[in-house]
Amino acid sequence: MQLRTVAVANEKGGVGKTVTVINLAAALSLMGLRVLVVDMDPQANATKGLGVSVAEGAPTIYDLLNPEGDVSATEAIVATKWKGLQLIPSHVDLSGAEVELADVTGRENRLKEALAGLPADFDVVLLDTPPTLSLLTVNVFTYARFVLVPCQTHPYAFAALQELFDTIEAVKREINPDIAVIGIVATFYDPRTRVSQRILNALQEDERYQSLLFQTTVRANTTIAESADVSKPVVFFRRSSFGALDYQALAKELLQRIG
């Protein structure tokens, strides 16, 4: 399988972005794929969610972005507890990278340059992003071929989609002509509530989004939160739960789209 680079992004927080990265990566690894998660969020929740504790002085994504650093992508990769699932961890220091890169020529290409030396044995690279538009997000969009957009079935999340699409279009026009939104996945869906039903219907009927919407919806499920509390993807925590079933279905649907 040719390497596929997929950014999971939304400029609104709380939509299930990091949860999607962690559990989609785990579901893909269960299918026998070799998956690398790149944590580009200074909060490092994807790193923690995969049960990785970064040792003092160990290289992280911050070191790869540092123009004065000499750390290679291979040196920054760490194994998780699960076969086929590896990680380039984040660190709180990443929050200062934007300021440090402000005067660097070609700063939007730092991630692309750093990951050019990735080992050739990965099938999919999943990139977590900050919940705001920043230089870090632009770096991810410069590198990634596809963007997966989690959209909480809530009015605020739905309203924020257009701004994200405008950002991606600007990057496509100015920096990365190959980038494309691969799909929108409805998250935190609760069929018992009118709001969830209304927002899902809006996604299905809006001409801007209907062709991008995944058939899979990620249902609101307390098991996902329980699995996060013990730093374990839900597909390994409780395989029969709605959360595990939904993310396995999403993984299969994603693979159909990215080829």
Query: Can you give the pLDDT at residue 181?
Result: 97
Res 54: pLDDT = 86
Domains and CATH numbers, the chain: 4-258 (3.40.50.300)
- Alpha-carbon distance 216 to 207, whole Å? 19
For 20-53, what is each residue's pLDDT tens digit? 999 999 999 999 999 999 999 999 999 999 999 8
**Whole-prediction pTM value?**
0.94
Amino acid 36: pLDDT: 97
Tell me how far apart the alpha carbons of residues 143 and 5 are, in angstroms, rounded to a whole number.
8
Q: Which pLDDT tens digit goes with each residue over 86-96?
A: 999 998 888 88
Tokens of residue 215, six digits: 């058939």
Q: pLDDT band for 162, please (50, 70, 90 cuts).
A: very high
pLDDT in tens, 53-92: 888 888 999 999 887 778 889 999 999 999 999 999 998 8
Please, what is the angle between helix 194-205 and helix 155-174, to 10°?
A: 30
d(CA 228, CA 160): 26
3-state secondary structure 96-148: HHHHHCCCCCCHHHHHHHHHHHCCCCCCEEEEECCCCCCHHHHHHHHHCCEEE
Query: Could you report the per-residue pLDDT of 215-258, keeping only the tens digit for each?
Result: 999 999 899 989 988 999 999 999 999 999 999 999 999 999 99
pLDDT at res. 245: 96
pLDDT of residue 1: 54
What pLDDT does 213 receive?
Answer: 98
| Termini Cα distance of the chain | 9
Work out whether strand 85-88 and strand 78-79 pair parallel, antiparallel, or are unpaired.
Answer: antiparallel
Q: Of 13-17, 99-103, 122-126, 196-200, where does mean pLDDT reach its minimum? A: 99-103
Helix (H) or strand (E) holding 182: strand 180-187
Annotate 240-251 with b (16+ C-beta within 10 A) or e (fewer).
Answer: ebbbbbbbbbbb
